[in-house]
Amino acid sequence: MEPHIFGPARVQSNDWKGTVALDEPDYPERLYKLAGLDPEEWSIVGLNIWGGRVGDGKLVSGVNVYAAPAAHRTGLDELTEDGRISVVEVEVEHEGTALHLFEDVFKQWSIHAKLAMLEQREIQLEITEHG
Protein backbone atom coordinates (compact mmCIF):
# COMPACT_ATOMS: atom_id res chain seq x y z
CA MET A 1 0.00 0.00 0.00
CA GLU A 2 1.23 3.46 -0.86
CA PRO A 3 1.45 5.88 2.08
CA HIS A 4 -1.41 8.35 2.14
CA ILE A 5 -2.83 10.96 4.51
CA PHE A 6 -5.77 10.11 6.76
CA GLY A 7 -8.36 12.61 5.61
CA PRO A 8 -12.04 13.45 5.81
CA ALA A 9 -14.70 10.80 5.31
CA ARG A 10 -15.62 10.13 1.68
CA VAL A 11 -18.21 8.02 -0.07
CA GLN A 12 -19.19 7.48 -3.70
CA SER A 13 -20.81 10.87 -4.36
CA ASN A 14 -20.42 12.76 -1.04
CA ASP A 15 -23.97 14.14 -1.22
CA TRP A 16 -24.04 14.60 2.56
CA LYS A 17 -21.16 15.77 4.74
CA GLY A 18 -20.74 16.30 8.43
CA THR A 19 -18.87 15.64 11.61
CA VAL A 20 -18.62 12.97 14.25
CA ALA A 21 -17.85 13.24 17.95
CA LEU A 22 -16.99 10.43 20.35
CA ASP A 23 -16.40 10.32 24.07
CA GLU A 24 -13.39 8.33 25.23
CA PRO A 25 -14.40 4.68 25.45
CA ASP A 26 -15.69 3.46 28.79
CA TYR A 27 -13.84 0.23 28.07
CA PRO A 28 -10.85 1.15 25.87
CA GLU A 29 -9.41 -2.32 26.36
CA ARG A 30 -12.29 -3.68 24.22
CA LEU A 31 -11.19 -1.65 21.21
CA TYR A 32 -7.54 -2.67 21.64
CA LYS A 33 -8.56 -6.31 22.03
CA LEU A 34 -10.80 -6.24 18.94
CA ALA A 35 -7.92 -4.69 16.97
CA GLY A 36 -5.43 -7.21 18.38
CA LEU A 37 -3.24 -4.42 19.76
CA ASP A 38 -1.41 -4.24 23.08
CA PRO A 39 -2.12 -0.82 24.68
CA GLU A 40 1.34 -0.89 26.24
CA GLU A 41 2.88 -0.97 22.75
CA TRP A 42 0.34 1.01 20.67
CA SER A 43 -1.85 4.10 20.93
CA ILE A 44 -4.95 4.24 18.78
CA VAL A 45 -4.95 7.72 17.26
CA GLY A 46 -7.51 7.37 14.45
CA LEU A 47 -10.67 5.49 13.56
CA ASN A 48 -12.45 4.75 10.28
CA ILE A 49 -15.94 3.27 10.45
CA TRP A 50 -17.67 2.58 7.16
CA GLY A 51 -20.64 0.75 5.75
CA GLY A 52 -23.06 0.49 2.89
CA ARG A 53 -25.05 -1.77 0.64
CA VAL A 54 -23.45 -3.61 -2.27
CA GLY A 55 -24.64 -5.72 -5.17
CA ASP A 56 -27.95 -7.31 -4.19
CA GLY A 57 -28.38 -4.93 -1.25
CA LYS A 58 -26.21 -6.88 1.20
CA LEU A 59 -25.08 -4.69 4.08
CA VAL A 60 -21.33 -4.57 4.57
CA SER A 61 -19.38 -2.56 7.10
CA GLY A 62 -15.97 -2.39 8.66
CA VAL A 63 -13.84 -0.67 11.22
CA ASN A 64 -10.17 0.20 10.90
CA VAL A 65 -8.06 1.78 13.60
CA TYR A 66 -4.85 3.71 13.09
CA ALA A 67 -2.18 3.14 15.72
CA ALA A 68 1.18 4.73 16.44
CA PRO A 69 3.84 2.65 18.17
CA ALA A 70 4.52 3.52 21.81
CA ALA A 71 2.69 6.82 21.32
CA HIS A 72 1.16 7.59 24.65
CA ARG A 73 -1.13 10.57 24.23
CA THR A 74 0.93 12.87 26.42
CA GLY A 75 3.93 12.40 24.11
CA LEU A 76 2.34 12.61 20.65
CA ASP A 77 3.98 15.97 19.91
CA GLU A 78 7.37 14.34 20.30
CA LEU A 79 6.62 11.85 17.51
CA THR A 80 6.39 14.37 14.71
CA GLU A 81 8.64 17.06 13.36
CA ASP A 82 6.88 17.59 10.03
CA GLY A 83 3.26 17.56 11.23
CA ARG A 84 2.79 13.88 10.46
CA ILE A 85 2.75 10.70 12.53
CA SER A 86 3.46 7.39 10.83
CA VAL A 87 0.66 4.96 11.73
CA VAL A 88 -0.36 1.38 11.03
CA GLU A 89 -3.86 0.61 9.72
CA VAL A 90 -5.46 -2.37 11.49
CA GLU A 91 -8.78 -3.99 10.61
CA VAL A 92 -10.95 -4.54 13.68
CA GLU A 93 -12.67 -7.92 13.99
CA HIS A 94 -16.20 -7.58 15.33
CA GLU A 95 -19.64 -9.09 15.00
CA GLY A 96 -22.59 -7.12 13.69
CA THR A 97 -22.43 -3.78 11.94
CA ALA A 98 -19.93 -1.03 12.49
CA LEU A 99 -22.55 0.83 14.54
CA HIS A 100 -22.60 -2.09 16.95
CA LEU A 101 -18.97 -1.28 17.69
CA PHE A 102 -19.98 2.25 18.70
CA GLU A 103 -22.55 0.80 21.09
CA ASP A 104 -20.11 -1.74 22.53
CA VAL A 105 -17.08 0.51 23.01
CA PHE A 106 -17.96 4.19 23.25
CA LYS A 107 -19.85 5.85 26.08
CA GLN A 108 -21.52 8.38 23.77
CA TRP A 109 -21.26 9.22 20.10
CA SER A 110 -22.92 11.62 17.71
CA ILE A 111 -22.97 11.94 13.93
CA HIS A 112 -24.23 15.12 12.26
CA ALA A 113 -24.59 15.41 8.49
CA LYS A 114 -26.29 17.78 6.09
CA LEU A 115 -26.52 18.16 2.33
CA ALA A 116 -23.10 18.90 0.91
CA MET A 117 -24.39 21.82 -1.15
CA LEU A 118 -25.50 23.52 2.09
CA GLU A 119 -22.08 22.88 3.60
CA GLN A 120 -20.31 24.30 0.53
CA ARG A 121 -22.42 27.47 0.70
CA GLU A 122 -21.89 27.68 4.48
CA ILE A 123 -25.65 27.59 5.09
CA GLN A 124 -26.49 26.71 8.68
CA LEU A 125 -29.53 24.74 9.80
CA GLU A 126 -31.49 26.66 12.43
CA ILE A 127 -33.72 24.31 14.42
CA THR A 128 -36.85 26.26 15.30
CA GLU A 129 -39.31 23.48 16.07
CA HIS A 130 -39.40 19.86 17.15
CA GLY A 131 -41.89 17.59 15.41
Domain layout of the chain by residue ranges = 22-111
Q: For position 36, what pLDDT does the model report?
A: 92
The Cβ-side half-sphere exposure at 57, using a 13 Å CA radius, reads 0
- What are the per-10-residue average pLDDT scores of the chain (131 residues)? 84 88 84 90 88 78 82 63 82 82 82 88 89 85
The pLDDT value recorded for residue 29 is 86
Residue 21 CA to residue 17 CA, distance in Å, equals 14
Cα distance between residue 19 and residue 120, in whole Å: 14
For the chain, what is the mean pLDDT? 83
Q: What is the pLDDT of residue 75?
A: 64
- Helix pair 28-35, 98-105: axis angle to 10 deg: 140
- Separation between Cα atoms, residue 97 and residue 74, nearest integer Å: 32
List b or e across 53-65, with b for residues whose CB sees 16 or more CB atoms inside 10 angstroms: eeeeeeeeeebeb
Q: What is the pLDDT of residue 37?
A: 92
Confirm whether pTM is higher than 0.75: yes
Q: What pLDDT, on a 0 to 100 scale, did the predictor assign at position 67? A: 87
